[in-house]
Each structure stands twice: as C-alpha cells, then as structure tokens.
Structure 1
Amino acid sequence: MNNVRLAEGVYYVGAVDWNLRDFHGYTTPRGVTYNSYLIVDEKVCLIDTVKAPFAQELLDRISQIIDPAKIDYIITNHIEPDHSSALPAVMARAPQAKVLLTEHGRTGIIKHYQQNYDFQVVKEGDVLDLGRNKLQFVPVPMLHWPDSMLSYLTGEQILFSNDAFGQHISTTKRFDDENELSELLYEAEKYYANILMPFGKMVVKAADKVKELPIRLIAPSHGIVWRKHIPEIVAKYQDWGRGKAVSKVVIAYDSMWGSTERMARQILDGVAAAGVTGKLYKMSMAERSEVVRDMLEAGGILIGSPTLNNGMLPTMGALMTYMKGLRPSGKIGAAFGAYGWGGGSQNSIEEMLKSAGVAVEQPGLSLKWVPDVEELDKCFAFGHEFAKKVLARL
C-alpha cells in the first residue's frame, strides 16, 4: 500500500473515498478523504481514525509500518463518525492504547460506541511526550462541534487540524504543491462555506492561534496536506471568519412559468452594469452547496421566487432553510418574484433572509403575471441599485 511519509516517523495512513457524492447534504463530486496519521516515536500515536467501512484499510496501512498492537495513544480530535467510527476496530487490535480527547469528546465517544476505553481528557496547553516529539493540544470548541480540538507536533512542527483547513477532494497526491492550487482553494472555500461558516468568530480565534505556531505542515482530516501554501490558506480562513466580502452578488431563484426567470436575468444585467460580478443560479437545477460556496465572499444575495400557496417555491424554501443554519455574515439581501392573483413569496423570503442574518436594506420587487417592457426596466434598475449598495459597503 502507498503509505505517504510526511516527516521523520510521521505517516499518512488514511483512506480515500472516491465514490461518495453526498456528505450530509453537501455535494461532493470529487469524493472525500478520511485522513489518519501515524506517529512512530519512542511512543506510537495515531491521530484520528477513519469512517468505519474503511477500518480494515486503515489497519492494513498501519500494519505495513508497525504492529497496531504497539499503538500507545489514539488522539480523537473530533468524534464525528467520519473521523471516529473505526475507533472500535482499532481498539480491538490495540486494547492497551490510551484515548486522548476533550471532555466533550469523552462523553460523545461513550455515547456513540457504548465503550468505556482508557480515556485521558486533555485541555488547553496539555502536552503529551512521545520522545523526540511532543504533542500539544488546542481545544477549539464549536469548530465545528463542542468536542473539536487541534493537535500540534512540536518536533516536526505539524498541525493536525481535523476539520479546519480541509477540503473534499480525492487525489493520489497528498500535498498541496502536488495538486492544482486553484482546485484546492475552490474546494476549501466550498468546504468552509458549507460546514464552518456559522462559526466565524471561533475560526478567527483558531487562525490567530495557528499563526503563533511555527508550522511546516497542516494535516487536516479531509483532503490534502498543506506544506507550500500555508500562509495563503490561513489568510483565507481569517478573511472568511471575519466575513470579508467582495463585489459580487449571488442571484438564486426558481420560476414557475418563466416570469421570475425573466426578472432574474434583467436584474443580473443591472448588477453587471454597475460593475459588480453577478452569479445566477436556478435552484431547480443548481447544487445548493455550490450556491452557498459562491455566497461566502459575496457582498449581496438576491432571492427570487413566484408565489405558491402564499409563499415561496419549495426549492427556494430549502435553500433559505439551509442559509438560516449557515448564517452568512456581513451581507445585504433583497427579494423579488412574480405572482398571479395574490402575492406572499416576497414577505416569506425577506423574513428568512433576516433570520439568516442577512440585512434587508432594499424593498423587494414583485410583479404581477408576465413582466412588460416597463417592468423589465424596473428589474434592471433594481439590480443596478442593489449592486451600488454592495459597492458602498466594501
């Protein structure tokens, strides 16, 4: 098996899931990885495990380097099953191993697997002496679960960052400089937007802690290992965590008989005429997680829907519910759409935008039946005015 050496005595022993296309509602057209790392020092330490179906692959990779029975410590940086569900299989081969994790992690592992292993609860500043290297523990609660933490290997200056700095991408190359950087940053942005966006304040704190450490490698639990472009990805996390926006407007809509779609296209032209980048998504055809990725750095969000049963179309309701959970910060928004005998979608959209933390600073635009030439001009002006408001906030 192709076990990749990250540094002296440090190996990648994880698994690549080339076929997974949905990660609890987040589309993964490039698959995912479940990264696990083995440290062979005076003591042997495993950093996280993998998803349960890949437990045997993990054990086979470890066995090529050392007998799993010689593992002294298993670090559980995060208890979510994509990182921990192979733990019972590993413990069966290394029953003497001590499991190091946060207090929330200990509670969660017991609840998930009904096993009371030899736990050692760690907190901020605790250090594990492995011999030539030491592991320092940095709890980062709610990045993105209460139990989450980072582990830092002092001798080799490796940050095992778990869900921070990750991407969902399958590749046979383990390092950033062996892959196309633009693809990695695209997937890192999508990953952040769909998983970490609600936790911006915690992200900034974690990024600030990371900047204080001398780091040669960032080894996340998904995707590639960063070794060349560490300053770039840390800077991105600081920008994303602070809600930094660019001159971009995302227009997400759906249409019943075409009227809302005609509105959307005219609004897009108005946005573009103001010198702002516009992105147009029809939600009956678009992937929700891709739309949210574009929203991460957008200064403005426009949501359009015709009225159905006094509210918005179900496709738009699903997007708005998703956005409410992610709470994109530092953005303005507005609603638009067509209606027949009675409206209602605009009010529903505006309420949902506000509940998602988006500032509604411009009255919405509703048109009856099919827009005429004059009304299409109003759509253009609506987009143009909105885009100017986005520019004024930058």
Structure 2
Amino acid sequence: MIPRKLAEGVYEVGATDWNIRDFHGYSTDLGSTYNAYLVVDEKIALIDTVKKEFTDQLLQKISQIVDPSKIDLVISNHTEMDHSGGLPELMEVIGRDKPVYCSSMGLKNLRRHFPDWLNLQQVSDGQELSLGNRTLQFLETRMIHWPDSMFSYLKEEQILFSSDGFGQHYAGPERFDDEIGDAIMAHAKKYFANILWPFAALIQKLLDKLIGTGLPIRMICPDHGIIWRRDPGKIVGAYLEWCRQQPGREALVIYDTMWHSTETMAGQIVAGLQEAGVKAQPMHARSVHRSDIVTAAFDAGALIVGSPTLNNGIFPTLADVLTYLKGLKPCNKLGAAFGSYGWSGEAPKMVHEMLAGMGLQMIEEPLRVQFVPERESLASCREFGRRIGQALQKS
C-alpha cells in the first residue's frame, strides 16, 4: 500500500491483486498488478486507473502523495476494465468535470463502458500535453493489444508509460527489474505468448516506429508487473526477437490419454524425436495449464498433438488447448497428429485438420493405433517421431 517514487514528482500508485489465479483463461499463479502512475507538476495527472474492486487501494496510495481532489486530469492509455474499471468512482472523487484523455478508439470504448457524464478528450498520435514543467506525448499503439491502446511518454524524465506493452502477470515483493533480475523474463514471455502473439507482426511495426522516433527511454512503466528501470532495452530487445517468431529446434508433444495408450504413443514419439537429435518435451493436457502449454508452444518448432477418440471426437482437454491455441495464430511451425482409439478413431484426423487450419505445415499423415499399442505399433510411433525430428532439423 506504499506508493513507489520513480522520479521527482512521479509515482506508481496502482494495486496488487495477490489472489487472482485466472485471467481470461491464462493462469496467474503469482497474481498480478494493475499499475497506475501519478505525475505531480503544475498540473497533476493520473495515468490509468485500476480494476474496479481495487479503486480504494488506488485512492489510498494517491492520498499519501496528494489529496485526490487535486488531480487535474486522467490519461486512459487502455480501456480494458482492469485499467479503467475504477474510472467512474475516481472521477466522482476528483471531480466529474475534469478531463479524461484517450485515443479515438478509447473514446468510443469508454462511452460504451461508462456513464455519459465523463469529460472525454480525444488525443491524436504525436500530440503533446503540457503539465507545466513537464510534457506528455501520446503515441498511438493500436493492437497492443486492443485497438484503443496508446503509450504516454513523459519527455523530460524519458519515461514511457506503455499500457499493456512490456508487462507481465506477476505480483511479488519486487517492483523493478533490478530487484528480480532475469527471473522476470519467463513471466514476460508467457505474457507475450498468451496475449500478444496474434499481433506480433503489428507490434513489430509499432516497435520499429517507436525506435524510429529516436525518443530516449530511461524507464518503461507497464500496466502489469514490474517496472523496467535498470535496462528497459532488454525487454524491447526481447519483444523484437519474439515478434520475428523464428521457430526453435524443439518439439512439443501435447497429449491426453484415457487408458494410457495415447500416453504410451507419446512416449515413443518423444524417444524418436530425441534419436533424431531434437529436444522434445511431452505435456499432458490434463496436468499442465493451457497457458503454460502455449508458452512452451511459442518456442517450439514442431507441435505434435495426440488425442484418444471419445464420442467420435477429440478428447475435451485437447479440444480446449487447440481452440485456445487457434486464437493465438501460431505460425512457422511443423505439425503432426496421433492417437489411439477403440472403435472409430476420428480424433487424430480431426486434430490434424485443426492444426492445418491454423497454418501449421503438416508433414505426416495422422498416426492411429487401435487399443493398446504393441511392439509393431510402438516401433511405428518411434519412427514417426524420428521422421518429424529429421524434418525439423532440415527446416
């Protein structure tokens, strides 16, 4: 509940959600934060708010610095409810007539979300707003990760308030990159893979544009997770790499099983991949959360998915993972499907079609085994994995 000073007159005043464990289907085992920032100058600006349930925490933090009624204006970088939910209650406290600055799409969203008495003021890309001795510049960043998204840049302090860009779902005692070190990068990659992956090409262009402006950036302040003050270039460099979506030389074998037959197949396929010199990892869909499977899939060069047939269809856990993965638009990956069955055996073909529909390069016909795999079938599974490994090595 203590605000963090980032620079003279600049503070982080957001909220920590220690107990959230699911964020739109994304596992948040360590919670999350809803960061908001206060800039105290001749005019006092609040950059973003918090999830509605945490508005009291926001106001308590602000009150340790200034009387909230002294805030002159609010910046809404992103209108998703974890950053704008507290806006109406906040405005009741600081004054209904005070302006809320947002992008053109942000204005449309806020009008649909909230009461029409909000004093919404549209800003354009590159527009500046003087706070007195300091100046905020607005940078439109559509699809990081909503159409309304924008960054705000405090010119004199060289601080970039980056909305959902460069964030992580992480709530811990550390608030800065120099306090947690490289351990934060796994959380940052999971965030990118599960939220920003479908927009990688657009984000690449936006990053090129941002770098092209030549704006010096001393600190990056996202709306979730830690603040990058020691080495903001590290996360920018990571985003540039992730946006390229270069496939790795690892294979991921995602499966579920009813009576261990598909599991046995998965084990032999992994062995075949390893014999081909490929690092391979099996992931049991009922034991690993979909968002962690996707994080591993982001780095993999081959996705091999195995499902038993249940009620003439894909096993439910695999259907869940594949539906989630489809929305993230994976690319530059090899794909293959396998599975066991008792009577009809449709699932491997259906998995194959789903992976092909996502744009994966399918290099094998679906591999099916009826009932319990025996010696010949096990050898076929091993060879299946070996061929995929060889193809991955050549790709």
Q: What TM-score comes out, normalization by structure 1 length? A: 0.97
Match of 2:282 among 280, 283, 291: 280
Distance in 2 between residues matched to 1:391 and 1:97, nearest whole Å:
60
* Contact 1:159/1:215, CA 8 A, preserved across alignment: yes
* Contact 1:110/1:116, CA 8 A, preserved across alignment: no
What do residues 118-156 of structure 1 show as CA deviations (whole Å, max 9, x unaligned)?
A: 111111111111122211111111221111111111111
Distance in 2 between residues matched to 1:237 and 1:244, nearest whole Å:
12
Corresponding position of 2:339: 337
Structure 1 residue 240 displacement after superposition: 1.5
Distance in 1 between residues matched to 2:241 and 2:333, nearest whole Å:
14
Q: Which runs of 4+ in 1 moved over 3 A?
A: none
Corresponding position of 1:322: 324
Structure 1 residue 115 displacement after superposition: 2.9
Corresponding position of 1:378: 380
Structure 1 residue 217 displacement after superposition: 0.6
Corresponding position of 1:218: 220
2:376 aligned partner, one-letter code: E
* Contact 2:363/2:388, CA 8 A, preserved across alignment: no
1:265 aligned partner, one-letter code: G
Distance in 2 between residues matched to 1:265 and 1:116, nearest whole Å:
61
Identity of aligned residues (%): 46
Structure 1 residue 356 displacement after superposition: 2.2
2:171 aligned partner, one-letter code: S
SS of 1:179's partner is helix
* Contact 2:125/2:140, CA 8 A, preserved across alignment: yes
Unaligned runs of 5+ in 1: none
Distance in 2 between residues matched to 1:391 and 1:171, nearest whole Å:
40
SS of 2:259's partner is coil
1:374 aligned partner, one-letter code: E
* Contact 1:326/1:356, CA 8 A, preserved across alignment: no
Match of 2:352 among 350, 356, 359: 350
Distance in 1 between residues matched to 2:231 and 2:354, nearest whole Å:
38
What do residues 342-372 of structure 1 show as CA deviations (whole Å, max 9, x unaligned)?
A: 2211221112112223222222211111111
2:98 aligned partner, one-letter code: A
Structure 1 residue 205 displacement after superposition: 1.6
Structure 1 residue 244 displacement after superposition: 1.7
Structure 1 residue 54 displacement after superposition: 0.8
Q: What TM-score comes out, normalization by structure 2 length? A: 0.96
| Pairwise CA RMSD | 1.3
What do residues 305-345 of structure 1 show as CA deviations (whole Å, max 9, x unaligned)?
A: 01122221011111111111111121111101111222211
Structure 1 residue 4 displacement after superposition: 0.7
Structure 1 residue 82 displacement after superposition: 0.4
Aligned pairs (5 A) from 1:248-259: 248-259=250-261
Aligned pairs (5 A) from 1:299-314: 299-314=301-316
Corresponding position of 2:207: 207
SS of 2:203's partner is helix
1:239 aligned partner, one-letter code: E
Distance in 2 between residues matched to 1:331 and 1:171, nearest whole Å:
34
Aligned pairs (5 A) from 1:166-181: 166-181=167-182
Corresponding position of 1:236: 238
Indicate whether 1:162 and 2:163 are aligned: yes
Unaligned runs of 5+ in 2: none
SS of 2:136's partner is strand
What do residues 85-143 of structure 1 show as CA deviations (whole Å, max 9, x unaligned)?
A: 01011101122421111111111111111233211111111111112221111111122
